[in-house]
Structure formats: C-alpha cells, structure tokens
Amino acid sequence: MTMIAGIGIDLIETSRIRDTLDKFGDRFFRRVFTPKEVDYCKSMKFPDRHLAARFAAKEAVGKCFGTGIGGGLGWKDIEITHSELGEPLVELHGGGLELAQRLGIREVRVSLSHTESYGCAVAVAEK
C-alpha cells in the first residue's frame, strides 16, 4: 500500500531564471542543474521556461521532504529527467538519496508546467 509522505509545490517567474542566467551564466548552471538537465533545456526552443520548471521541481521536492534546499539536500541531489514518453521523473543522488532512505520515501513523483511567465511544479513523495 502506497502512503503519501509529503507534498510540495513551487512557482517561479521565468524572468527570474532569465535574469540569473544573464547575470551569472554557466556558474548558475553548474550550481543548480546537472549536465543532463542543462543539455535537455538548451535543446528546447525556450530553455529558460524549461529551466524554470526544473528549478520549481527541485524546490517542490525539497518541500516534500520537509527540509527545503540546503543543509543535507543540495540542488544537484535532485535531478529532473524524463521517460521515453516525456513524463518528468525525479532521480535522487547523494544527500537526496540518503534523506529519502532515512525518511522511508521510495519514490517521488513530479508534475511540471510552464508558460512564458512562470514555471511551476508539484511533487509527491511516496512511502
């Protein structure tokens, strides 16, 4: 039987991501996103929208765990990939994987959305 261990949601203005990219460039990419995430987003027509949705997803996962980003859960401990059909998937690494195991979380599901102005995500952690 699956039990919900946590729910998280986040919304971010796409302009914040665009402004941060303009100001910090690759430093921002390297700090927040994995190479796989960057490659995927850069391959899209509007990379900033996809980056905003992934940024929101990482924040939503942090809220799911009840910790937020920081301390034992880093930006790159959460990676947003996708299935062959395009379904967004959460892959946990390092501190994210350790925290999930400690909390008894066996899977984190995520839903992403974006517009020209906003990126958003909802995450659900399952025990």
pLDDT digits (tens, 9 = 90+) for 67-86: 999 878 999 999 999 999 99
Question: Length of the chain in residues, anyone?
Answer: 127
What is the assigned CATH class of domain 4-126?
alpha beta
Residue 1: predicted pLDDT: 81
Residues involved in catalysis: 63, 114
Question: Do 4 and 126 form a contact (C-beta atoms < 8 A)?
Answer: yes
Beta strands in 48-106 (DSSP E): 78-82, 88-92
pLDDT tens by residue, 86-122: 999 999 999 999 999 999 999 999 999 999 999 999 9
What is the rounded CA–CA span in Å between residue 34 and residue 74? 11
pLDDT at 12 over 80: yes
pLDDT at 63 over 80: yes
